[in-house]
Structure 1
Amino acid sequence: MQSHQLSSGDVIADRRADYARMLEEGGEPEAAAELMEQALELAPAWAAGWYRLATYLEKAGRGEAAIEAYRRTLTLDSEDIFGATLKLALLGDAAIPDRPPSRYVERLFDDYADRFETALVDKLDYSVPQKLAALVASTDRRYECAVDLGCGTGLLGPEIRALAGRLEGFDLSQNMLAKASEKRVYDHLAQADLSLAPDRSGLFDAAAYRRADLVTAADVLMYLGNLESVFSIVGELAAAGADFAFSVEDAGDGEAFHLAPSLRYAHSEAYVTQLLSCHGFEILKIVKTVIRKDGGKPVSGILFLTRKTA
């Protein structure tokens, strides 16, 4: 269980919840849901418990009951740190949100930081940092100041460190930033929220802010639906002639973006291309590639190398 789900405050409820988890892991979601309901009778205000019940009900094929449990989660957790709104959207009970709750993303990566690299690189064949760095290196430029948005544990930093005189990293998760700091490749690390307007994002502190001639975002934009906020931020951050290299999950043709069962967003090439044009970026290269595995299946992505026009 994650740190936000460890205890209901009731020993018996916790024990039943532990048994429920074991049942679900053993392929018995219906039995897990029944036991979780018993736990929640003892701890009815346990938001994490209602979220876990909802996931068991969903796996058991009881969609309406799952919706009610996700709604109860939201009632008890107004910040939505578990992402119940995303689950409700996938179940057809709510519109697809433009972006996930910031506290959900922050909590997700705070809890994930210690095992992030092992899970992503060793188990999911994650290769975006190397592929994105190769795109950047193809420009044959030496950058004065590079900014790595959504730097996470710093997987991209070592790949582009030699290309930049100064390298700054920003992320929503403090635990991820702590891991990135251990690599000792960033000159500056700070917290920022890419889902907010530029003046509220935390990226433009007068003490640290400088225009960048390289901006990167490796596997970051899939945690946003509507990308207007992040493109506005990059437009403010990037100097004239700056390069912007980033990845998205490929939504294919049609809709601008959609929410996948993974709770990540996929974006269409047409949508991203339109936003780039609106914010003054020309496309230098587009590469379609597999960016990771999910459930043993390849996930298609698009890598963009762009340049801000003068």
Structure 2
Amino acid sequence: MENRLKLTYLSWTDFNWHAFLLTKSFNAKIIFIKRIRFIKFFPRLVNVAFDYLIKSIKTITFIIKNYKNYFFFENPPPIASVIGLLCKKINKNFKYVIDAHNGAFEPPMINFPFVIKAFNNADAVIVHNNPLRIFLQSKNEFNNCTFFTLNDPIPEIPDYSIPSYKDKYFLVVTTFHGDEPVEIVLEGIELFLSKSIDSKVEFHVSGNYNKSINVYKKFSDNKKIKFLGFVDQETYHRELTNSIGVLTYSIREMVQQFAPMEALGANKPFISNRNLTNIELFDNKMVLTEINPESIAMGIEEFFMRKGELEKNIVYLKEQLTEIRNKDFNNLIRHLKLNDAII
């Protein structure tokens, strides 16, 4: 137990599956600093400001009590990384790592005061795909930044499969976030269905569709497209393990989507977009398409033609990606000199 307390990961979220899996790899203690619930009639910016203020106070208080720990800060939000920089300026022996996601390097997050300095003073900055790391290393503002790539792990997904449900639907994984081309994906699905009138396959769409209510209204009348809304983790895993496969898309070129890793963890083949990261990780072992309805419809057809091959490729991908991640993880551990803290 003493070893576990040497490493602490601070996440300004109620719960973060990515952060949970990362801390499990490091055998670290994770602290979720939850969102503060304020009175609804307060303006949103006021709520956010109070939320960040309270979280900052909690973060600094925790660090003061545990200043000998090795801290990992999740970014976004950038202010957590700046707190790490402040602590290092006060105590040069303070050690911190930034777990950085794509949004951390884009406006408005990258414009936050002192955040670039926080990156350059961190003991390491973890990014989650090689194309992003290579791009950032070419930027002069990150000359003193020590980047490491650490792909998301393949999670262990509980098997909730029910024989009577199997092979009847695809799971379309989305959060209805702005970087997910949900409408285009659904247009591609409708195009596929229009060409395959006799097909009995359905498409279950995850995520809170209230974030994009116009998209929901546009496709909700299609009886073969079912919107699940926000579901708990067990229900999500149940949908995943009973699906034919997964569709997941992002408009970003340099991002590692977690959904493909979840699909592999559930032994499900998937369809995604042909971006730099997916090409490097999966190449032709899974179905990769362009982001347009015609290509997506063709990708679904290709999925059925290659289904047996894709299922066999899962074993290869799991072995290869795990080997790559273990190598990258060990390089990071050696750099941070954390061998004694990792059991």
TM over 0.5: no
- TM-score by structure 1 length? 0.37
- Decide which structure has greater strand share: 1
